[in-house]
Amino acid sequence: MQFTAKQISEFLNGTIVGDEKVLVDRLSKIEDGVPGSLCFLSNPKYENFIYTTGASVIIVAQSFEPTKPVSSTLVKVKDPYSAFSVLLEKYDEVLNSEQHKSGISDLSFVHPSAKIGENVYVGPFCCIEENAVIGNNTKLYAQVFIGAAATLGDNCQINPGVRIYKHSQIGNKVIIHSNTVIGSDGFGFAPQTNGSYSKIAQIGNVIIEDNVEIGANTTIDRATMGSTYVREGVKLDNLIQIAHNVDVGSHTVIAAQTGISGSTKVGSNSVIGGQVGIAGHLNLGKRTQVGAKAGINFNTEENKQWHGSPAQPLKEWMRSTVIFKHLPEVERKLRELEAKVAALNAVIDNIKETE
């Protein structure tokens, strides 16, 4: 499908600089732009490409003023990155015909007591157990498992191989990527006098609120009692572990390979980097920011940045990293000083012996 610069501008509520009739039929990165492609400029580091790209249309900020001639048509918007993400979503809808599928595959199993909404798609080899509820327009792709009495809201996208255990509650407009497991048992074992461990029954569930996206191979454990919560608007990357009774606050984003231990509460609008480890029974304040590979084993206040393991406030961590770089030199100087002190002590000892 082709669109004019004018159509794109109207869709994004932008303004045009250049030929409003120029046509585009694909999206591209600005450095790879060719005639007929649409791209965007958000990061100033890429500004040099706007003068050399072959793209027909470029989305830029309203404040952008070129310092050299630009051959492309510009569409000026408030936030180029957000505007381009909207176009990517629409483009993906056009390309991905599976999003418009409906019906139940003959190769799937749906328990007679399950309630299936309107315009639902259930792909091959799916299993929906007793009393499960699937909301309107929700798509379950191949090999998805929905446990007994689990509920999914409207307009969800559950990708191949996802496992949603019994009694889990999934809100509206939730996207879960392949091989993620929702509602597996929490890691609860009681030590015994003979050195063994006895399993503690995990009788709670997982509640995932609206507009959440969960990456591939992520695991979210059911609560021991009560619920594990992933609040509205949370975005989870791949390969994340959320333990039992954790509460991830609304609109928090967490990068890959992070692990959050049991009963910890993460404040809303927090940003957690990759490979972060967070101990259990903690409270992280709202808008907490944690750098990659950090280790958190204490409560944090609101609006604080933490880096390192064990974690430190950002400014302290930056000073520490400077010192770390100079440790070999510091060690060498310390050894030299020790040798000089030893020599001076030897001289003092000799003087004492001759007195």
pLDDT in tens, 235-258: 999 999 999 999 999 999 999 999
CB 184 within 8 A of CB 165: yes
Mean pLDDT over residues 272-292, rounded?
Answer: 97
- Give the pLDDT score at 97: 56
Per DSSP (E only), the strands in 120-248 are 121-122, 127-128, 133-134, 139-140, 145-146, 151-152, 157-158, 163-164, 169-170, 175-176, 181-184, 189-191, 197-199, 205-208, 213-214, 219-221, 227-230, 235-236, 241-242, 247-248
| Cβ-Cβ contacts under 8 Å for 328 (sequence gap 6 or more) | none
User: For the segment 171-209, what is each residue's pLDDT rounded down to a tens digit?
Assistant: 999 999 999 999 999 999 999 999 999 999 999 999 999
| pTM score over 0.85 | no
- Residue written as token pair 């929906």: 128
- Give the pLDDT score at 295: 96
Contacts 24+ apart (CB under 8 A), 299-305: 302/267
User: For the segment 93-148, what is each residue's pLDDT rounded down to a tens digit?
Assistant: 766 655 678 999 999 999 999 999 999 999 999 999 999 999 999 999 999 999 99
User: For the segment 292-319, what is each residue's pLDDT rounded down to a tens digit?
Assistant: 999 999 999 999 999 998 898 888 888 8
C-alpha distances in Å from residue 322, one per residue of 22, 145, 318, 319:
53, 51, 7, 5
β-bridge pairing 163-164 and 227-230 = unpaired
Active site residues: 244
User: For the segment 40-72, what is each residue's pLDDT rounded down to a tens digit?
Assistant: 999 999 999 999 999 999 999 999 999 999 999
Mean pLDDT over residues 145-159, rounded?
Answer: 98
- Give the pLDDT score at 348: 86
Half-sphere exposure of 276 (CA within 13 A, CB side): 28
Output the average pLDDT for the chain: 94
CA 315 to chain centre: 25
| Cβ-Cβ contacts under 8 Å for 37 (sequence gap 6 or more) | 24, 26, 27, 28, 54, 55, 56, 57
- Give the pLDDT score at 323: 83
- Give the pLDDT score at 352: 78
CB 300 within 8 A of CB 285: yes
- Give the pLDDT score at 94: 67
- Give the pLDDT score at 98: 55
